[in-house]
Amino acid sequence: MRGSSRLILTAVCVSIGVLLAIQIRSTGNLTSTVPDLRTSEMRVMLMDAIRQNQTVQEDLEELRRKVRDYELTLTQGEGALGLLRTELDRARLLAGITPVSGPGLVITLSDSKQPPVHGDDPRFFIIHDEDILKLVNVLRAAGAEALSVNGERLLASSEIHCAGPVISINNVRVAAPFVISTIGNAAAMESSLRMRGGIVETLGYFGMEIAITQHSTLEVPGFKRPLRFEWARPIERR
């Protein structure tokens, strides 16, 4: 623990030193070129140097803040590992791989029970993948922070598409009724769903059954399978 903490503090201090060196070098370069420039060019160079100095100062203050945080946790006996664990938990939350709870809505969609009249296309009376996609997009636009359909957590990479008589979500086949759980501002999300000409009114026109209930606390499961990237790679910062 003490060894890893010293390494972290050393890395931060080295970063501060690099930023200070860059600042000093930038100032030196400006001084050497000033005598050969006209007044207007000198003014531009001065403003650019001021902006660079401000950026360096902000970066320096951020690094100092991190040093203070690490020193504070060390004195409190938590160590740098506690901060790293907190950052890891937050990353898991943002990635959607951990279960979450909070206020929100539960929406249940069922196929229409009314028989099609002569000439009607029977496909208009069942829930399709595009219906779920539209509903999910409305919820996200209304501020939904976590979504699941029939227990399948929706991520940015999740797919929702037709698979014969059922719908595939995260490569898992699910059938009606579709239960969508979402965490966020329950009143705002329900209002967006029920707006005039919106998704609820459209589906209701064909007799689809839609039940929406608000909950002060509900749970949305985490993504159940490993996240794998075959082609995408992090960009190395220099």
CATH classification at residue 133:
3.30.70.1880
Q: How confident is the model at residue 188 (pLDDT cuts 50, 70, 90)?
A: very high
User: Residue 229 falls within a domain, yes or no?
Assistant: no
One domain for residues 200 and 113: yes
Q: Assess whether 113 and 13 both reside in one domain.
A: no
Expressed in angstroms, the distance from the first to the final Cα of the chain is 28
Q: Indicate if the pLDDT at residue 92 is higher than 70.
A: yes
Task: Report the alpha-carbon distance of residue 182 to residue 140 in Å, rounded.
Answer: 9
In the prediction, which pLDDT does 10 show? 60
Q: What is the pLDDT of residues 155-183, one digit of tens each?
A: 988 999 998 888 999 989 999 999 999 99
Whether 82 and 206 have beta carbons less than 8 Å apart is answered as no
Q: 23 and 129 share a domain?
A: no
The pLDDT value recorded for residue 139 is 96
pLDDT (tens digit per residue) in 103-115 = 999 999 999 887 7
Q: What are the helix and strand counts (H, E) for the chain?
A: 6, 8
Instruction: Give the model's pLDDT for residue 50.
Output: 73
Do you find a cis peptide bond into 122, omega within 30 degrees of 0? Answer: no
Q: Helices 39-75 and 80-95 meet at what angle, rounded to 10? A: 110
The boundaries of the domain holding residue 28 are 2-93
Residue 230: pLDDT above 90? no
Which of the listed ranges 23-27, 28-32, 110-114 does the model predict with the highest average pLDDT?
110-114
Give the DSSP letter string of 89-151. Answer: HHHHHHHT-S-EEEEEEEEEEE---SPPPTT--GGGGS--HHHHHHHHHHHHHTT--EEEETT
Residue 230 in any domain: the answer is: no
Per-residue pLDDT at 85 exceeds 80? no
Note whether 112 and 178 are same-domain residues.
yes
Residues 152, 191 contacting (CB under 8 angstroms): no
pLDDT at 231: 86
Confidence band (pLDDT; 50, 70, 90) for 38? low
What average pLDDT score do residues 124-145 get?
92
The chain-wide mean pLDDT, for the chain, equals 79
75 and 134 co-located in one domain: no
